[in-house]
């Protein structure tokens, strides 16, 4: 069992972050397999063929992606923790990737082959400048296949962070980590269980852990940068939701409180801010604000301030009403 051990200082400084590099890596994995996620299906359909055409034309890119998507050990040179917090830029993340020495890349890829559940060889690893070639592949995938969808994805990621920040403020880190993935859990007073597999414990540095959501339904990994920087990448809540953001509430509830308010009440199965709701439901902030005021006056929802934002959630009455009229 692998444990991430945190001092009280490291725990107090742990925080959430975004990583375009991790989002791109997760997207590569989605594009190489059959897509079962309705939230990503329209995106998958638009980008699948073009992505595979690029891989088929470049043996290095194809070999790298196929290995990354079929191993329990992701190469360390492409999984460094993000350094820009919520404003991390892909260009900054790709600098150390491009600068990775060929010797480092080969060692990482050989370890990935050794931990793969498929048979691989490294015959495609020819020439030199493998770090720079890897950075070029990630930059292409981001610009052509992820960036056009980033506004929608970022809204979902920020919503997950808002939800967990609310749990953190109310209950502390153990509750905020619940259901982050199937394996991770708080252990004792100072450790996070990352994996059931045997391995040495890691001691998190005084700057604390980073928790990085991505828009895939599966896929968790630990990003590591010596001597003691760590980031836990995990699937964001709600990434398997309907791509339109609409859950189709029952007609009876629509007649009772209106179609817009019914959709919003169902959407608040997961707490969110008014801005996140507006983006996800495709409505103006003014419209969302009006619906929230009515639902709040009816004691169906409640708002809780988390820093500068107000996160809305259903009350017990709202839960019962939504459950009774769910399809």
Residue with more model confidence, 246 or 43: 43
Q: How confident is the model at residue 324 (pLDDT cuts 50, 70, 90)?
A: low
- Verify that 135 and 45 share a domain, yes or no: yes
- Verify that 38 and 115 share a domain, yes or no: yes
Q: What integer is the mean pLDDT of 163-184?
A: 79
Q: Convert the pLDDT of each residue in 286-311 to its tens digit.
A: 999 999 999 999 999 998 887 778 88
Per DSSP, the residues of 26-68 read HHHHHHTS----TTTHHHHHHHHHHHHHHHHT-HHHHHHHHHH
Q: How confident is the model at residue 327 (pLDDT cuts 50, 70, 90)?
A: very low
Q: Convert the pLDDT of each residue in 146-171 to its tens digit.
A: 999 999 899 889 888 888 887 787 77
- Verify that 36 and 137 share a domain, yes or no: yes
The residue range of the domain holding 262 is: 251-324
- Verify that 214 and 274 share a domain, yes or no: no
What contacts 84, CB < 8 A, 6 or more positions away?
17, 92
What contacts 129, CB < 8 A, 6 or more positions away?
102
- Verify that 8 and 24 share a domain, yes or no: no
What CA–CA distance (Å, rounded) separates 114 from 72?
9
Domain count, the chain: 3
Supply the pTM of this predicted model.
Answer: 0.78
Q: Which of 235, 262, 279 is the last residue of a domain?
A: 235
Angle at 105 between CA 103 and CA 111, to 5 degrees: 105
- Verify that 24 and 133 share a domain, yes or no: yes
pLDDT at residue number 272: 84
Q: Which of 235, 265, 289 is the last residue of a domain?
A: 235
Q: Which of 235, 261, 282 is the last residue of a domain?
A: 235
Q: How confident is the model at residue 242 (pLDDT cuts 50, 70, 90)?
A: very low
Contact call for residues 119 and 93 (beta carbons, < 8 A): no
- Verify that 159 and 52 share a domain, yes or no: no
Q: Convert the pLDDT of each residue in 193-206 to its tens digit.
A: 887 777 889 999 99
Q: How confident is the model at residue 326 (pLDDT cuts 50, 70, 90)?
A: low
Contact call for residues 270 and 159 (beta carbons, < 8 A): yes
Phi, psi of 284 (to 5 degrees): -75, 160
Residue 243 covered by a domain = no
- Verify that 133 and 189 share a domain, yes or no: no
CA distances, 155 to each of 15, 106, 159 (Å): 18, 37, 6
Contact call for residues 193 and 1 (beta carbons, < 8 A): yes
Contact call for residues 2 and 197 (beta carbons, < 8 A): yes
pLDDT at residue number 75: 97
Q: Which two tokens stand for residue 253?
A: 């509830």
- Verify that 58 and 167 share a domain, yes or no: no
**Lookup result for tokens 């953001």:** 245
- Verify that 193 and 47 share a domain, yes or no: no
């Amino acid at each position: 069992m692998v444990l991430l051990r945190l001092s009280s200082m490291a725990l107090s400084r742990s925080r959430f972050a975004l990583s375009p590099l991790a989002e791109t890596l997760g997207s590569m994995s989605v594009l190489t397999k059959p897509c079962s996620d309705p939230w990503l299906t329209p995106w998958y359909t638009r980008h699948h063929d073009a992505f595979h055409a690029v891989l088929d034309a470049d043996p290095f890119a194809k070999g790298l992606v196929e290995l990354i998507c079929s191993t329990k050990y992701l190469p360390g040179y492409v999984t460094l923790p993000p350094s820009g917090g919520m404003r991390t830029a892909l260009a900054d993340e790709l600098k150390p990737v491009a600068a990775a020495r060929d010797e480092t890349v080969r060692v990482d890829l050989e370890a990935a082959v050794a931990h793969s559940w498929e048979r691989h060889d490294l015959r495609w690893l020819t020439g030199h400048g493998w770090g720079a070639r890897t950075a070029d592949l990630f930059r292409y995938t981001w610009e052509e296949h992820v960036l056009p969808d980033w506004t929608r994805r970022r809204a979902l990621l920020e919503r997950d962070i808002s939800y967990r920040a609310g749990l953190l403020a109310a209950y502390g880190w153990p509750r905020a980590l619940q259901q982050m993935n199937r394996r991770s859990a708080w252990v004792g007073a100072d450790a996070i269980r990352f994996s059931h597999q045997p391995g040495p414990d890691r001691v998190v540095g005084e700057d604390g852990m980073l928790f990085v959501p991505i828009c895939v339904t599966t896929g968790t990994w630990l990003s590591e940068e010596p001597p003691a920087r760590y980031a836990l990448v995990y699937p964001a809540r709600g990434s398997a939701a309907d791509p339109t953001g609409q859950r189709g509430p029952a007609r009876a509830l629509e007649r009772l409180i209106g179609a817009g308010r019914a959709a919003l009440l169902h959407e608040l199965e997961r707490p969110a801010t008014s801005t996140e709701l507006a983006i996800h439901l495709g409505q103006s902030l003014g419209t969302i604000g009006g619906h929230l005021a009515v639902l709040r006056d009816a004691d169906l929802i409640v708002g809780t301030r988390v820093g500068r934002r107000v996160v809305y959630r259903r009350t017990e009455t709202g839960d019962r009403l939504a459950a009774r009229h769910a399809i």
